[in-house]
Amino acid sequence: MATFTLPRNSTVSTGQTYKAAPDAKNVRSFKIYRWDPDTGENPRMDTYEIDLDKCGPMVLDALIKIKNEVDTTLTFRRSCREGICGSCSMNIDGLNTLACLKPIEDVVGEVRINPLPHMPVVKDLVPDLSQLYAQLRMIEPWLKADTAAPPDEERRQSREERARLDGLWECILCFCCSTACPSYWWNGDRYLGPAVLLQAYRWIADSRDEYMGERLDQLQDPFRLYRCHTIMNCARTCPKGLNPAEAIGKVKMLLAEREG
C-alpha cells in the first residue's frame, strides 16, 4: 500500500484566542492564518475578537486594528486601501479578494482569513509572488514600437482602438485570479496563469504596439497558454470584475487565425 505524507509545515493547528473587552457588544471573530518561518513551528489559526463598533467596515480595517491594538506581530501587505494597488489580496471566507474592498458585513459568522492559496508563504498573510512577477517580466508588459513617436505629442488612438483595452487596463496585478486557478496550481512553473495572460493580451490588443507577431510567438507553447481550460475561477474571483478567461480566449483565436 502506498504511503503518503504531508509536506512539512502543512498541518494547521489551533492557535491563541484574543478576547474582546468585556463591555464590547458588537463582537465578530476573525480567524487568521499565522506562520513564522523563524520559529520552525507549524502554522496555526489565531482567533481575534473585535468590537465592530470601534472598527471600520472593511476586513482590512479589522486587520489594521488587530495589528495596531492587539497583536503587533501580525504580518500582511497593504498600501492604498482603495482597491488600486492590489497589495492586500488574500483569501477571505474562501474567496480570493482584496481586504480593503471586502465588507465585514458580507461575511456570515466568523471571518476566516488565509494567504492566497497554493503559493509559498513568506510570513502570515504574505505570499511569495516572485514566480508570478518573473512570468510578468517575461511577457514584456510595456509598449514596444520601432516607429518613432510623433514629436511633441502622444501616439494617437481612435476611440474604437482605445475601447479594445477596456477590461484589460484595469488589472491591478493582485493575482487573485492566478492563485484561484487549478491549472496554475498544478502547472505554475510553465503555465503563465490568467493574470499574466490578460496582461499579455492587453499589449497584443493595443493599436500602438508593433510587436503583435513576436508576442504571439512567445505564447504559442503547449503550457504557457494552452493549460487554460476555461474553469472560470479567474472571472469569479477578480475583485475588479474582469474576465481573464475571455482575454485568453482571444489570444487563442488570434493564434488559430494566424495558423489559418
pLDDT on residue 239: 97
pLDDT on residue 10: 77
Among 216, 247, 255, 205, which residue's Cα sits nearest to residue 230?
247
Give 44's Cβ-side CA count (13 Å radius).
14
For residue 67, CA distances in Å to 137, 203, 242 come to 33, 39, 31
- Does some domain include residue 6? no
Q: How confident is the model at residue 38 (pLDDT cuts 50, 70, 90)?
A: very high
Whether 216 and 110 map to the same domain: the answer is no
Helices 193-204 & 212-219 angle (0-180, nearest 10): 160
Question: In this predicted model, what pLDDT tens digit does every residue of 136-164 receive, in sequence order?
Answer: 999 999 999 999 988 888 999 999 999 99
| Residue where a domain stops, chosen among 81, 102, 127 | 127
Whether 136 and 213 map to the same domain: the answer is yes
**What is the value of pTM for the model shown?**
0.93
Does the structure show a pLDDT above 70 at 182?
yes
pLDDT on residue 8: 74
Whether 180 and 92 map to the same domain: the answer is no
Whether 197 and 80 map to the same domain: the answer is no
The Cα–Cα gap between 221 and 109 comes to 45
- Does some domain include residue 95? yes
Among 213, 219, 217, 228, which residue's Cα sits nearest to residue 200?
219
Amino acid at 16: Q
Whether 95 and 136 map to the same domain: the answer is no
Range 11-33 average pLDDT: 95
pLDDT on residue 40: 86
What is the domain extent for residue 80? 13-127
Mean pLDDT of the chain: 95
Does the structure show a pLDDT above 90 at 259?
no
Reduce the DSSP state of residue 96 to 3 states and report it. strand
- Does some domain include residue 196? yes
Question: In this predicted model, what pLDDT tens digit does every residue of 83-137 receive, in sequence order?
Answer: 999 999 999 999 999 999 999 999 999 999 999 999 999 999 999 999 999 999 9
Q: How many domains does the chain have?
A: 2
Q: How confident is the model at residue 1 (pLDDT cuts 50, 70, 90)?
A: low
Does the structure show a pLDDT above 70 at 3?
no
Does the structure show a pLDDT above 70 at 4?
no
